[in-house]
Structure 1
Amino acid sequence: MEEAMVPSLSAAGIGSRFVSQDDVDSAKARRDAQWKEAYARIGMEPPARQEQDFSDGRSLAEKLAANKIAKQEEWEEKTKLANQFRALEEDEIMFLDSLRERQEAEERERREKDGVEVQSFKEAVAARNNAVNNPPPIAPKPVAAPPSKPPAPARKKGPLKGVVVKKRAKPPTPVKEDTKDEKKDKQKDEPNPKRRRISET
């Protein structure tokens, strides 16, 4: 059973994975013939094909190591500290100096303004403390002399436009008292509210 699991070396499957040098040469000759025929169809001569020389005498590991070193050197050259900075030009220096001077002037002005405000605040606090601790003496009021001329009465103006003025109610006129005979006549004419009329019901 174990021998059936291991493939034999003489089997056709393993040998078919490899290509012989004769097969490579015949494929190359066929490709060259097709190349020449294609150019012959369009009426041109085929350009000379450049053969690539793959054998420079180094192993693959040596080639990879050389490529890695070259890339590392290139990266170090790009990231050198000296390459990241450059000297300032004359006009850039003048611009930066003017900015610095302006900032210093603004800072100086702000400090002066703050000093003035603090001083005025201190003076106000001191004045308030003095007013609370030392109240001013009360001076007698001078007697005003009576005016020599009485003021003119204010001129009465009519009502403003659009203002409605209500008229005052007139006081009731005195009613003369009726005599006894007139009272009796009035009572006869007026019905007595306490009495009911039976005929209406």
Structure 2
Amino acid sequence: MDQSLFQATAGHISSRFQTQEDVEVARENKKKEWEDAYKRIGQEPPPQEPEEEHDGRTLYERLQTQKEIKNEEWDTKMKLSNQWRGLNAEEKRFLQDKEEEKRRAQKEIETRETEELRQYRERLAERKGGIGSDVPPPPTSAPAAKVVAKKVPVKDGKKKDVKTLMKGVVVKKKAKAPAATNPATEEAPTAKIGSKRDASDVGDEGGEDEKRRKVEKAE
């Protein structure tokens, strides 16, 4: 009983395994069936993708290999020497076109500014020319002013008459003596008045003489 059970289990397990020859025969049969099916419908069979080779490694080993490959790619990408690259032909052509457009725009601006400046100068010259035609030009040299010596009038050497010089002189009149009422009381004032009158007469005569001398000196 146990022997028969063991043989049945061994036969079942052995039927699950296939040799490489069995795999190749099954693949050729499948390919032939595939081509026959397309021939029946009158079409060419499409190219088949190559089957992946059997990898005998475990899943952990395969994942670890993929992780290492990704880490190497990342390190290579992040190197400083690999972060800078040269421009290709298309990028160089694009930059050259942009630079040429910039130069043309700058040249157009300069040409327009030069033309506007020329027109402005022409208008300014025409305006100045119109103003200059109406107004006569100023003389180049002013004539020298003639110096005329003024003659000083010479005074007449004739002496003026003394009477004409004495016209402005005012001579005071002598005061009249009041009537005598009392000889005793009026004697002293009379004497005083007389002395004053004499002094005034002398002063008037002296003043006239002094004025006469001044006039003669002035002549």
- TM class by shorter chain equals under 0.3
Q: TM-score, normalised by structure 1?
A: 0.27
CA radius of gyration, larger in: 2
Which protein is richer in helix relative to its size?
2
Tell which has more relative contact order, 1 or 2 (C-alpha 8 A, sep 6+): 2
Q: TM-score, normalised by structure 2?
A: 0.25
